[in-house]
A and B are shown apart, each in its own frame.
Chain A
Amino acid sequence: MKKIEAVIRKSKFEDVKEALYEAGIEWFSYWDITGLGKSTEEQIIRGQVFQSSYIHRRMISIVVRDINLDKTLDAILNSAWTGETGDGKIFIYDIQDTIRIRTRESGPEALFNKE
């Protein structure tokens, strides 16, 4: 089992969501993040145009079985890509175990519905 965390553009979220559904991902969580670094983005407030170092992105988090890893990664890579600097990053972690609370099933079994 692998956990995929991806930092993506907010403007690409809808595309990534669609692609994940098509790849068979039934559930994932996401949240808004703000990054602060050397790169900047244009921002406009009350007519002032300036470069802001606060970069707004969206983080999505998915846990998948090993057999689904590649197609999930492909789905994200293809849907989140623009070619411009700032498209984001993907992090992949090993997951030690998963337990479904309702049935106490554990392991990869707990990650999908057999019905």
Chain B
Amino acid sequence: MKRNIVLTSLLSLLSVPTLLAQTTTSTAAPTINAGDTAWMIVATAFVLLMTIPGLALFYGGLVRRKNVLNVFMQCFIITAAISIEWVVCGYSLSFGSSTGFLAPYIGGLDWAFLNNIKITDLSPYFISHSQMGLNGVAVGTIPHLVFIMFQCMFAVITPALIIGAFAERINFKGFFVFTILWSLFIYNPVAHWVWSTDGWLFKLGALDFAGGTVVHVNAGVAAIVTAIMLGKRRDYKDHAIPPHNITYVVMGAGLLWVGWFGFNAGSGLAADGLAGNALMVTHIAAATAAITWALLDWFIDKRPTIVGISTGAVAGLVAITPAAGFVGVPGALVIGVIVSLVCFCMVAYVKPKLGYDDSLDAFGVHGIGGMLGAILTGVLASPLIQPAYSGAIYGNYRQLLVQFIAVATTIIYSGIGTFLLFKLTNKLVGIRVTDKQEAIGLDETQHGENAYNNFD
């Protein structure tokens, strides 16, 4: 005992110079953390994998064989076009800062064309790993350019999710114009509200770890609006049209699951315990939701289906997205069960009743799953994960209210904005293919290519 005390006092004496050393290094140049940076570069690649080929295969398998290339092409061109939009002005509008009354709503153009960003700059955004920068402003531990690229992949996948709603009947020109406009005027502002340090929802304390509101609610609401405005497919008779290649659906869902590890575990912007938690809960929520959907299939419709379990896994991944940095494994289990129950009812019973044609259930899975995830984050956020954040079950009812506000404003903004941009696009270039083109298929009529040929 005595020796211990001596030792401790000795140690505390020793630590004085260390403390001094720390204060001196804090004025030195901040350094890049190699571990964090390596992980974030890998995570960025994972999130790219989610759009091409993950989402492309998932959606491509669900459409009919005459439209599969059109879906692949939509995913591919979104990846290319939105990446350019991102460096031209998207990043600056989302994560930059503006002055005056607009500051909480949209970024400025200081970082347009990535102007003023040097390769030695560190990310101004961070979650748990930060250090003091030269000008006394805290910075993260990864290069700014890596952060921009990571966020670029989120900007890419969000409009790609909407494809599920208008698949099989949109003309390519209309799709292209609409997607660019939507990214500019809907994605960028909402990302700014929630993730920018100037954003009004960020300041209000809305929790969205990896994009439940910004990505999934946003895209899901745009999905139902476009599905209703575009009208039903000519062959739609109030029930799903059978998928043409379920093996693609499974490969797509699998790649989405893999990619989601980068999506969620990368959203802590560091290779640390929080990333480990995000990885864990992402996996558990996906697994729980997948098995819940399979069991529902099994009990209600007699047999578990592959399309069902794949859809369940994606629903679980969607719902855990906002919560990944705030809930533990118990929360992930609850979220996984609830999201599959609700999305199953939505897709199997509510959609046919209401009669809108959301071709591949972009709203039923991403919209509803995203809203549930965002709300449940406000319920289940545990101080054991990040001490600063807790949800309603820990007595913090305000968090639940804030989550409701974030979801509701995103629904209203995305809903009205999508409506206006759809009208505008329809005026400018037209948005629906002709009945004959739709019957022949979009692969042939929009691209002059066919996926499956009977020739060597």
Contacts and interface: CB of A to CB of B under 8 A. Distances in A.
A46 B308 CA distance: 5
Contact of A47 (B238, B242, B243, B348): B348
B297 interface: yes
A78 interface: no
Contact of A54 (B242, B308, B311, B351): B242
Nearest to B308: A46
B344 A47 contact: yes
Contacts of A54: 242
Interface in B338-374: 344, 347-349, 351-352, 361
A44 B308 CA distance: 10
B: contact size bracket: 20 to 34
B296 interface: yes
B301 interface: yes
Contacts of A46: 240, 305, 307-308, 311, 344, 347-348, 361
Interface in B292-328: 296-297, 300-301, 303, 305, 307-308, 311
B232 interface: no
A35 B386 CA distance: 58
Nearest to A46: B347
A39 interface: no
B239 A47 contact: no
Interface in A22-60: 43-50, 52, 54
Contacts of A45: 239-240, 242-243, 305, 307
Contacts of A48: 239-240, 347-348, 351-352
Interface string A58-86: 00000000000000000000000000000
Interface residues of A, number: 10
Contacts of A47: 296-297, 300-301, 308, 344, 347-349
Most chain B C-beta atoms within 10 Å of own C-beta, residue among A47, A50, A54: A47
Contacts, number: 43
B242 A44 contact: no
A49 B344 CA distance: 12
Nearest to A49: B301
Nearest to A43: B242
Nearest to B311: A46
A34 to B, nearest CB: 10
Interface in B157-186: none
Nearest to B351: A48
Most chain A C-beta atoms within 10 Å of own C-beta, residue among B238, B242, B344: B242
A52 B235 CA distance: 12
Interface in B237-295: 237-240, 242-243
Nearest to B300: A47
Nearest to A50: B239
Most chain B C-beta atoms within 10 Å of own C-beta, residue among A44, A50, A52: A44
Contacts of A52: 242
A18 B19 CA distance: 84
Contacts of B344: 46-47
Contacts of B296: 47
Nearest to B301: A44
A105 to B, nearest CB: 30
Contacts of B348: 46-48
Interface of B: 237-240, 242-243, 296-297, 300-301, 303, 305, 307-308, 311, 344, 347-349, 351-352, 361
30 contacts: A43-B242, A44-B297, A44-B301, A44-B303, A44-B305, A45-B239, A45-B240, A45-B243, A45-B305, A45-B307, A46-B240, A46-B307, A46-B344, A46-B361, A47-B297, A47-B300, A47-B301, A47-B344, A47-B347, A47-B348, A47-B349, A48-B239, A48-B352, A50-B237, A50-B238, A50-B239, A50-B240, A50-B352, A52-B242, A54-B242
Given A50-B238, A50-B352, 7 more contacts: A45-B242, A47-B297, A47-B301, A47-B308, A47-B344, A48-B347, A48-B352
